[in-house]
Structure 1
Amino acid sequence: MSVLNRRALMSGLTSLSLLPALPAFARTAQHWTPSWYAAPEPSGNKAQIEDLTLRQIVRLSAGGSAVRIRLSNAYGDTPLRIDELRVAKRVDGARIDPQSDRAATFNGQTGVTIPPGAYVLSDPIALTVEAHADLALSLYVKGPAALTTLHEIQRGALYVTGGRETAAAELPVARTDIGIGNAFPWMSGVEVVTARTQALVAFGDSITDGFGITPDQGKPWPDQFSERLSAANIPLSVVNAGISGNRLLNHGTWARFGTGALARFDRDVLAQPNVAAVVLLIGINDLGHAAGPDSAGYAPLEALKMGLTQIAARAQAHGIRVYAATLTPFKGTTFKDYYADEKETRRVALNAWIRQSDVFDGVFDFDKALDDPARPGWLLKAYDVKDGLHPNDAGAAKMAQSIPLDAFNWARKS
């Protein structure tokens, strides 16, 4: 080696040695898997908060040796400032275990500013968490901060108090209404470090999201199916990417019904790490909801087939297995103008196509699981939240029980 080259090499090594050392987590490849998820939705209003602590309770699917938190400003048109975020194991209600309390950081900083339309991931947090356990995510916003991005269905619980109280063991709950009803803002995911667990995404509408289900008890069908998989030692973390009122082909008929499934699939499924499978239960709102400003009319049958086929193709191109679920009964629904005999004809035809199609890697017959044998097309009364459309806790359990576990034998071997 020439003297000149040797000097250049030594100069390069010296320069490298002056770079700051990366954190151990950053230098080591980690197997991150989603353990909880809430698809972002636009709020549709101009509510703001300031000088508040929000403690959001989430129920994990998979356990792990570390966690990181995903925050979203997906529908914000201005930067969003989160001044502090802490993570802890929940004891009960708004109470946490102080020994488990950890501060989240973002590139080493305790606060973060999220650009409009973006999301951020926290730095890894060294905290061992268990499967099916509750995690408390406490954030403080000095504000004012616009509540433009939220998730409508509160599957867990949200506790709110004034001032900076993120580390409080027993949060002094001062209020529950922050101007967005039974919803929570900005929190969109928890990922965990696992040895080999992969993710299964439940992708759908309110029936998946948990409308009418008892909150804060792990009762939506994806949660109950997660427990079945764990009991069978099948290493899949089930995360819920449902949005109430969501449609396959078009955006919701009002803001909180969210971006259409075809448009949000990349964000809510493909962009998540270690996703191995997805269950599609989507399309009933394309039949039931009146036309919105972005759609000329109710969805034709062939358009619904196309939409499901497109999602399957996009997932399979990423090596993700796709399971389609049949649309559940909705005769007699109490929602005005939602049901019509012609819509039922399309639902029956779509379900027949789903059952016979070779587009999917498997089919789960939720229609058969919930249908009233004495009144075909009606939701069995024992499974009805009393609106003729949404399954109750027992109905969600029936859906979870109806899924054949042998469809996931491939996960046992992975």
Structure 2
Amino acid sequence: MSQVTKVMLIAALTTAPLAASSVSAAAEPRGSRWDGAWATAVQRPFKNDWSPAWADEGFNRQSVRQVVRIGAGGSRLRIRLSNAYGAAPLHLTGASVARTGEGAAVLPGTIRSLTFRSSAAATIPVGEQLVSDPIALPVRPRERLTVTLYFQGATGPSTFHALAMEMSYRAGGDHLRDPGAGAFTESTASWYYLDGVEVTGRPGGRKRAVVAFGDSITDGYGSTAGADARYPDALAERLMAQGRARPVLNAGIAGNKVLNDSTCLGEKATARFQRDALDQPRVRTVIVLEGINDILHSETPPSPCTVPNPRVTAQELIAGYRKLIRTAHASKVRIVGATLPPFKGAYGYTERGEEVREAVNKWIRSSREYDAVVDFDRALADPADLDRIRPALDSGDHLHPNDAGYRIMAAAVDLDSL
């Protein structure tokens, strides 16, 4: 994969089914007694040259098995599926959940079949979500779960999340209740249709969620794949270690921008903020880290993934942040502004782009328009050159932190601000 393609994608970047029921997320109010335990932000399918094209081709007589690490425990759970970007109603033949084993395997005896209004199959209308019926499966915070979906007919292009930093697996045929990994001979680092896991019956009472909203730095690019080493993961672990455990839900999309949509990098932040952040169950606080892609893409040649890429100004980005702040406050949600980390030496770095970043960071620190500020810029900067990431914290592209850098970011968050 070329450096240009890499930055373009990741820079902070149907046969008839069984009888089915059509269900939306509105079937039961999400805020009433359910807590978010895991979430991701979905995006439209696109062809790419860095992973198998499952999203573009979809699934047909296949099972897809996906691993997630949850941030809250409970006695019962349910999953959310999304057909936000489907071209046709999505016909789901069946689904199951289990505790994760090695790779695509699950722990025998833990597989639970999922239903949707008491039916094994369901249809998700275009643009809608699907919520499963609750099942009894006690889970603990930071436990890994595996969700398996089976599609008897062709789905068409799939609503998905491109940069999972976690493997998903595919097998021919119905393997909903198969504990083994043998049939799952294909893998890719994306999630498909799955956009949330919710729990109820939490031991120790309920806690309001934190949503980390952003681009590839929030998504965790540069961290160790499969290690749950993104900064939101490190923040959740820090909260647990200090006896202040609460869900931290990741709503990052690699390459996402504040001001412009992209065919492969998600809808702009101001358009997706309500769905991906404020509509999460019992959200209390959102941390916003967005803007570096608006700057980078405006300083690089246009590509199918980065257009439109007008030359952005600090004032335009600030207007976008103000829209996010107003939207959060209208929902009575706290919003924490994060400064944009250093990026000197990264592909697309220019002195003009650096001037925009510095002006944006000055406003974030001094305007008092956010409810609180987390200074990721100063936490990651090299003391010898404040425009660069400290070498020990750099994943190698001078833009994304490594595991140590993501831990430093989590440590920079004032827990009282949440």
Q: TM-score normalised by the shorter chain: which range applies?
A: 0.7 to 0.9
Seen in structure 2, the aligned counterparts of structure 1 residues 331 and 123 have a Cα distance that, compared at 3 Å, is: same
Q: What amino acid is aligned across from residue 264 of structure 1 in structure 2?
A: R
Q: How far apart are the structure 2 equivalents of 1:271 and 1:322?
A: 14
The answer for the alignment partner of 2:35 in structure 1 is: 33
Higher deviation after alignment, 226-235 or 50-59: 226-235
Q: Does 1:234 align with 2:244?
A: yes
Q: What amino acid is aligned across from residue 70 of structure 1 in structure 2?
A: R
Q: What amino acid is aligned across from residue 88 of structure 2 in structure 1?
A: T
The answer for the alignment partner of 2:337 in structure 1 is: 324
Give, in angstroms, the shift of residue 174 of structure 1: 3.8
The answer for the alignment partner of 1:4 in structure 2 is: none
Question: Structure 2 matches for 1:120-139, cutoff 5 A?
Answer: 120-139=130-149
Question: Structure 2 matches for 1:272-283, cutoff 5 A?
Answer: 272-283=280-291
Seen in structure 2, the aligned counterparts of structure 1 residues 139 and 303 have a Cα distance that, compared at 3 Å, is: same
Selected match of 2:102 from 92, 110, 114: 92
Q: 2:100 is paired with a residue of what secondary structure?
A: strand
Equivalenced residues, count: 376
The answer for the alignment partner of 2:159 in structure 1 is: 149
Higher deviation after alignment, 211-220 or 166-175: 166-175
Do the aligned residues in 2 keep the contact of 1:205 with 1:242 (CA within 8 Å)? yes
The answer for the alignment partner of 1:191 in structure 2 is: 198
Give, in angstroms, the shift of residue 402 of structure 1: 1.4
Give, in angstroms, the shift of residue 117 of structure 1: 1.3
Give, in angstroms, the shift of residue 326 of structure 1: 0.3
Q: How far apart are the structure 2 equivalents of 1:152 and 1:174?
A: 20
Q: How far apart are the structure 2 equivalents of 1:136 and 1:41?
A: 21
Q: How far apart are the structure 2 equivalents of 1:28 and 1:286?
A: 33
Q: How far apart are the structure 2 equivalents of 1:207 and 1:217?
A: 15
Selected match of 1:67 from 77, 94, 100: 77
Q: Does 1:347 align with 2:349?
A: no
The answer for the alignment partner of 2:312 in structure 1 is: 299
The answer for the alignment partner of 2:297 in structure 1 is: 289
Q: 2:179 is paired with a residue of what secondary structure?
A: coil
Do the aligned residues in 1 keep the contact of 2:111 with 2:177 (CA within 8 Å)? yes
Percent sequence identity over aligned pairs: 39
Do the aligned residues in 2 keep the contact of 1:248 with 1:260 (CA within 8 Å)? yes
Q: Does 1:311 align with 2:319?
A: no
Do the aligned residues in 2 keep the contact of 1:59 with 1:156 (CA within 8 Å)? no
C-alpha root-mean-square deviation of aligned residues, in Å?
2.0
Question: Structure 2 matches for 1:5-24, cutoff 5 A?
Answer: none
Structure 1: gaps of 5 or more residues? 1-25, 409-414
Give, in angstroms, the shift of residue 212 of structure 1: 2.1
Q: How far apart are the structure 2 equivalents of 1:125 and 1:212?
A: 35
Selected match of 2:416 from 406, 409, 412: 406
Selected match of 1:258 from 225, 246, 266: 266
Q: 1:352 is paired with a residue of what secondary structure?
A: helix
The answer for the alignment partner of 1:244 in structure 2 is: 254
The answer for the alignment partner of 2:371 in structure 1 is: 361
Q: 1:127 is paired with a residue of what secondary structure?
A: strand
Deviation readout 1:254-309 (Å, 9 max, x if unpaired): x2201110000111112222000000000000100136787461221111111111
Q: How far apart are the structure 1 equivalents of 2:155 and 2:416?
A: 47
Do the aligned residues in 1 keep the contact of 2:43 with 2:159 (CA within 8 Å)? yes
The answer for the alignment partner of 2:4 in structure 1 is: none
Selected match of 1:112 from 119, 122, 126: 122
Do the aligned residues in 2 keep the contact of 1:279 with 1:324 (CA within 8 Å)? yes
Deviation readout 1:53-91 (Å, 9 max, x if unpaired): 111000111111211111011111111111111011113
Q: How far apart are the structure 2 equivalents of 1:32 and 1:168?
A: 29
Seen in structure 2, the aligned counterparts of structure 1 residues 29 and 358 have a Cα distance that, compared at 3 Å, is: closer
Give, in angstroms, the shift of residue 29 of structure 1: 9.3
| Structure of higher RCO (CA pairs closer than 8 Å, 6+ residues apart) | 2
Q: How far apart are the structure 2 equivalents of 1:381 and 1:130?
A: 36
Q: How far apart are the structure 2 equivalents of 1:43 and 1:354?
A: 33
TM-score by length of 1: 0.87
Give, in angstroms, the shift of residue 405 of structure 1: 2.1
TM-score by length of 2: 0.86
Do the aligned residues in 2 keep the contact of 1:326 with 1:365 (CA within 8 Å)? yes
Deviation readout 1:83-142 (Å, 9 max, x if unpaired): 111011113322222322211111111111111111111111221111001001011111
Do the aligned residues in 1 keep the contact of 2:164 with 2:219 (CA within 8 Å)? no
Q: Give the greater-gyration-radius structure (CA).
A: 1
